[in-house]
Homo-oligomer: A and B are copies of this chain.
Amino acid sequence: MVAMDEAALATFLEAEFPQADGQFRVDRLTDEGLILRLVVDHTHLRPGGTVSGPAMFGLADVAVYLAILSRIGPEALAVTTNCSIDFMRKPEAGKDVLAEARILKLGRRLAVADAYLTSDGHDDVVARASLTYSIPPTARPGAD
């Protein structure tokens, strides 16, 4: 039930989010979602060299968005309705941040997913987010 694979998602990102400009990269699809990489550069950093909260929020948000698209295709104008995020540790300096998005529910009207953020090469969870997306009626006529 994969509607878009890694290559299709990369093409979609470039076309629809030109301003993201290479900062996000889908590492791979998983059984339950995907892993998205934030290619960290100076625009994501706070003084002291840590990745900023908004950059981590954006990573979690895009990871879940793409995970949903990978299942239902690019027509869906899914919109974030809620995000709850816990910041637990400072990301490692100079490392990309990875978000593992996992879809918990893909309903007719709502999708719910988790995203766990880690620094590349490290196991500790840096931040944990849960997100809800609203899916427009036209996007999934036959589902649920």
Contact = CB atoms under 8 A, between A and B. Distances in A.
Interface string A77-92: 0011111111111000
A66 to B, nearest CB: 14
Interface stretch (A2-10, A54-62, A68-76): A54-62
User: How many copies of this chain sit in the oligomeric assembly?
Assistant: 4
Contacts of A82: 82, 84-87, 132
B105 A134 contact: no
A114 interface: yes
A53 B61 contact: yes
A81 B110 contact: yes
Interface string A91-127: 0000000000000110101101010000000000100
